[in-house]
């Protein structure tokens, strides 16, 4: 007899998690509570309620988390200019700690004995969900069906549904790819993408036109920053999730944000995936633009040196770790003076910073000018500076340690 009486399941309403509801009921003879998060994935989440009810679920949670997602997770990550392995903007990774947080909150509220998720046993998401859950509730029991059952193919899942009268919605035109979407991105895996030599099919992409089909005239936008976060677009004040939604639209219209990479998963394998992150691509370029005039040189370089480690921590699922919180405190401290406006030119897949201004700018035109600087900078000072910095090189060369 199982001691699991109630389980909170991260529930999308799709095939996998619908099977999991019934599997949990059958295997553990337990009550299932479903939690569906609206993270801006672009599809209605309310239909998940009817699907859960049809499976006998009594406690159903559907939460609109779009603002919290962008404000408390996406924006803090972008203050660090975060990129994993030089390319990936971490669209899937950054959503998982928020889902874990709500799984634990709902488990505490409903008195559940365990939580469950639909992540497969091969990917990173199982790690992210569970690391987050254990950090927030150390003794929580986690049930990962993909690591327990033998329903390891779509055919077996469909057969299970047929045997148990689980309704399966077969959508016309449904993408054959394994997809994950939220306000920051859409990811695509599987099918032709499992061959890293094969080019992604054009009709796969959902949010963006190809650069070839983007408008022949550029689009200009201005982003206003306060303490490292975008607060307005073209002078219009917007909430964080509204900022990202608007940037996704204008970026996608201009063919911005497509990515095709092979990444190194935390669980040890390489994986090929395609991503659409139009708004995030714009945000990254713009943030570096405003930092270029507002950050001290050594602070900027310190941030850049920390970024790969910070990105790895998020990718691997350690958002709720002490090292991420410590790095975040430093990063947020650097953003106090990251205020101002960045002007961007969007054109056929490209994002160019074409203007930046700030009351906190460290750019001094009097010093930087190639014209008469009225004595603001004395070039003669450079001679001593250069000799002092060359001292160790001169000593080594004098000892015969010449380079090459």
Q: What is the secondary structure of 307-376 as a DSSP string?
A: HHHHHHHHHTT-TTSHHHHHHHHHHHHHTTT--EEEEEEEETTEEEEEEEE-TT----HHHH-SS--TTS
Kindly state whether residue 377 falls inside one of the protein's structural domains.
no
129 and 250 housed in the same domain: no
Residue from 217, 372, 225, 392 nearest 295 by CA: 225
Q: Is 180 one of the catalytic residues?
A: no
Per DSSP, the three-state class of 223 is strand
pLDDT at 123: 86
Please indicate whether residue 223 or residue 374 has the higher confidence score (pLDDT). 223
> Are the beta carbons of 142 and 116 closer than 8 angstroms?
yes
90 and 227 housed in the same domain: no
When pLDDT is cut at 50, 70 and 90, the band that residue 170 belongs to is low
Q: How much of the chain, in percent, has pLDDT values that exceed 90?
A: 80
110 and 193 housed in the same domain: no
**Reading across the β-sheet that carries 229-233, which strands appear in turn?**
236-237, 229-233, 219-226, 340-347, 350-357
d(CA 36, CA 48): 7
Q: Is 16 one of the catalytic residues?
A: yes
When pLDDT is cut at 50, 70 and 90, the band that residue 173 belongs to is low
Tokens of 236: 């219009």
d(CA 382, CA 395): 20
Kindly state whether residue 56 falls inside one of the protein's structural domains.
yes
pLDDT at 36: 97
Name the least confident of 259-273, 320-334, 367-381. Answer: 367-381
What are the pLDDT digits (tens) for 74-121? Answer: 999 999 999 999 999 999 999 999 999 999 999 999 999 999 999 987
Under DSSP, the state recorded for 216 is S
Q: Is 361 one of the catalytic residues?
A: no
When pLDDT is cut at 50, 70 and 90, the band that residue 1 belongs to is very low
d(CA 149, CA 23): 9
Per DSSP, the three-state class of 233 is strand
State how many domains the chain has.
2
Kindly state whether residue 137 falls inside one of the protein's structural domains.
yes
Please indicate whether residue 163 or residue 261 has the higher confidence score (pLDDT). 261
Q: Which of 175, 178, 292, 361 is catalytic?
A: 178
Question: Which domain covers residue 46, as residue numbers?
Answer: 6-163
Tokens of 75: 């924006």
pLDDT at 321: 98
Please indicate whether residue 13 or residue 114 has the higher confidence score (pLDDT). 114
Q: CATH number of the domain at 83, please.
A: 3.40.50.620
Q: CATH number of the domain at 270, please.
A: 3.90.1260.10
Question: Chain-wide mean pLDDT for the chain?
Answer: 93
Name the domain boundary from 140, 163, 186: 163
Name the least confident of 160-174, 236-250, 299-313, 342-356. Answer: 160-174
Kindly state whether residue 258 falls inside one of the protein's structural domains.
yes
When pLDDT is cut at 50, 70 and 90, the band that residue 373 belongs to is low
Kindly state whether residue 106 falls inside one of the protein's structural domains.
yes
d(CA 76, CA 91): 13
Q: Which of 38, 113, 125, 229 is catalytic?
A: 125
92 and 183 housed in the same domain: no
118 and 199 housed in the same domain: no
154 and 198 housed in the same domain: no
What are the pLDDT digits (tens) for 282-301? Answer: 999 999 999 999 999 999 99
pLDDT at 223: 98
Tokens of 136: 């927030």
75 and 154 housed in the same domain: yes
Say whether pLDDT at 155 is over 90.
Answer: no
Q: Is 356 one of the catalytic residues?
A: no
Under DSSP, the state recorded for 56 is T
Kindly state whether residue 101 falls inside one of the protein's structural domains.
yes
Name the least confident of 15-19, 56-60, 133-137, 292-296. Answer: 15-19
Tell me the three-class secondary structure of 64-117, residue by residue: ECHHHHHHHHHHHHHCCCCCECCCECCCCHHHHHHHHHHHHHHHHHHCCCEEEC
Kindly state whether residue 58 falls inside one of the protein's structural domains.
yes
Alpha-helical segments (H) within 137-204: 154-163
143 and 198 housed in the same domain: no
Q: How much of the chain, in percent, has pLDDT values that exceed 70?
A: 96
Q: What is the dihedral of CA 349, 312, 305, 354, to 10 degrees?
A: 20
144 and 239 housed in the same domain: no
Please indicate whether residue 352 or residue 155 has the higher confidence score (pLDDT). 352
Name the least confident of 74-78, 315-319, 372-376. Answer: 372-376
pLDDT at 63: 96
Kindly state whether residue 404 falls inside one of the protein's structural domains.
no
Say whether pLDDT at 127 is over 60.
Answer: yes
145 and 208 housed in the same domain: no
84 and 144 housed in the same domain: yes
Q: Which of 22, 66, 96, 128 is catalytic?
A: 96
Strands 6-10 and 114-116: parallel
Mean pLDDT of 50-75: 96
d(CA 256, CA 275): 11
d(CA 139, CA 70): 29
Residue 27's CB is within 10 A of a number of other CB atoms, namely: 15
115 and 249 housed in the same domain: no
> Are the beta carbons of 62 and 83 closer than 8 angstroms?
no
d(CA 172, CA 177): 14
């Amino acid at each position: 007899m199982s001691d699991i009486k109630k389980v909170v399941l991260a529930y999308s309403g799709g095939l996998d998690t619908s099977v999991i509801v019934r599997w949990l009921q059958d295997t553990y003879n337990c009550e299932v509570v479903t939690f569906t998060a609206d993270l801006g994935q672009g599809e209605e989440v309310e239909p998940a309620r009817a699907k859960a009810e049809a499976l006998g679920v009594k406690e159903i949670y559907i939460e609109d988390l779009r603002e919290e997602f962008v404000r408390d997770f996406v924006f803090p990550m972008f203050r660090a200019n975060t990129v994993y392995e030089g390319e990936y903007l971490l669209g899937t990774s950054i959503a998982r700690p928020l889902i874990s947080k709500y799984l634990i909150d709902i488990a505490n509220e409903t008195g559940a004995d365990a939580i469950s998720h639909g992540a497969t046993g091969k990917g990173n998401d199982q790690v992210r969900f569970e690391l987050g859950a254990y950090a927030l509730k150390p003794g929580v029991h986690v049930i990962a069906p993909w690591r327990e059952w033998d329903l390891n193919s779509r055919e077996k899942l469909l057969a299970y549904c047929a045997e148990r009268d689980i309704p399966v919605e077969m959508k016309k035109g449904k993408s054959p790819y394994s997809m994950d979407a939220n306000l920051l991105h859409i990811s695509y895996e599987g099918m032709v993408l499992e061959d890293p030599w094969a080019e992604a099919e054009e009709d796969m992409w959902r949010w963006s036109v190809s650069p070839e089909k983007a408008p022949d005239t550029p689009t200009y936008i201005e982003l206003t920053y306060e303490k490292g976060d975008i607060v307005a677009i073209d002078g219009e004040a917007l909430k964080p999730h509204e900022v990202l939604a608007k940037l996704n639209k204008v970026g996608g219209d201009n063919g911005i944000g497509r990515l095709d990479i092979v990444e190194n998963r935390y669980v040890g394998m390489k994986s090929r995936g395609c991503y659409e992150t139009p708004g995030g691509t714009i945000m990254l370029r713009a943030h570096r633009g405003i930092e270029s005039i507002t950050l001290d040189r050594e602070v900027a370089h310190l941030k850049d040196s920390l970024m790969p480690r910070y990105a790895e921590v998020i990718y691997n699922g350690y958002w709720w770790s002490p090292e991420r919180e410590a790095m975040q405190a430093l990063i947020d401290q650097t953003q106090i003076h990251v205020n101002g406006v960045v002007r961007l030119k969007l054109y056929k897949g490209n994002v160019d910073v074409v203007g930046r201004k700030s009351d906190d700018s460290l750019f001094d035109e009097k010093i930087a000018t190639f014209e008469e600087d009225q004595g603001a900078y004395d070039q003669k000072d450079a001679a001593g500076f250069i000799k002092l910095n060359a001292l160790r090189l001169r000593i080594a060369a004098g000892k015969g340690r010449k380079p090459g």
